[in-house]
Chain A
Amino acid sequence: AQSVTQLDSHVSVSEGTPVLLRCNYSSSYSPSLFWYVQHPNKGLQLLLKYTSAATLVKGINGFEAEFKKSETSFHLTKPSAHMSDAAEYFCVVAGGEYGNKLVFGAGTILRVKS
């Protein structure tokens, strides 16, 4: 079974409109969950993380994500897209049965149209 599923390989939005990047995970325990962003030919930067505290997590650059255990989801949102948000986004699970590994989803490429 896929450990982390990012439901959309590509998402396209207009500047100023909301962003929704979807992530579902599989875990028998309470995992740690992360969202990372990658600009072309660069390393990854942490946007936010969930580690069993508040279920609504706020990150950098106006992004936030909500942990929903009943739905095994950790979707990433932003109220208003900016051109600089165009990048690839990765949902990551760790802990529980994954131990010290960080397991990545396949990524979602976000395109922002002017």
Chain B
Amino acid sequence: DGGITQSPKYLFRKEGQNVTLSCEQNLNHDAMYWYRQDPGQGLRLIYYSQIVNDFQKGDIAEGYSVSREKKESFPLTVTSAQKNPTAFYLCASRWGHGVQNTEAFFGQGTRLTVV
């Protein structure tokens, strides 16, 4: 089945630790996105990538890093510099480099809690 897989579903992190969230898609989509969701704030864009080996900062990139070494994979690292990392993180992908009217497909999310 084609789709987007995020892992793990739940993640606990101690303060001061970096943690990496996985996102894999087998839809052959060019574009991939990471969003953060907090109650009442909708989804806010962290990073996005249109093609392999290229990515751009979104609206709230501070304290996060990404890589795009393969078309299928777009991992997100939450660093210790992120002051309030507890949130629900959603990965999405979308067909077409530079095509702006296609819909995005979403993973099931990772809930990160700092303990």
A contacts, CB < 8 Å to B? 9, 32, 34, 36, 41-46, 49, 51-52, 90, 94-96, 98-107
Contact = CB atoms under 8 A, between A and B. Distances in A.
A47 to B, nearest CB: 10
B101 A104 contact: no
A44 B90 CA distance: 9
Contacts of B88: 41
Contacts of B50: 100
Nearest to A105: B42
B74 to A, nearest CB: 14
Contacts of A52: 101
B90 to A, nearest CB: 6
Interface in B85-109: 88, 90, 92, 94, 98, 100-101, 103-109
Contacts of B41: 106
Of the four ranges (under 10, 10 to 19, 20 to 34, 35 or more), the interface on chain B belongs to: 20 to 34
Nearest to B33: A102
A106 B43 CA distance: 7
B54 to A, nearest CB: 11
Contacts, number: 63
Q: Which 3 A/B pairs are nearest by Cβ-Cβ distance? A: A95-B100, A43-B106, A51-B101
Contact of B109 (A9, A34, A43): A43
Contacts of B58: 101
A12 B103 CA distance: 28
28 contacts: A9-B40, A32-B100, A36-B106, A41-B88, A41-B109, A42-B108, A42-B109, A43-B90, A43-B108, A44-B92, A44-B106, A45-B106, A49-B103, A51-B101, A90-B42, A94-B100, A94-B101, A95-B101, A96-B100, A100-B48, A102-B33, A102-B45, A102-B104, A103-B45, A104-B35, A104-B43, A104-B44, A105-B42
A10 to B, nearest CB: 10
B111 interface: yes
A106 B4 CA distance: 23
B48 A101 contact: yes
A44 B42 CA distance: 12
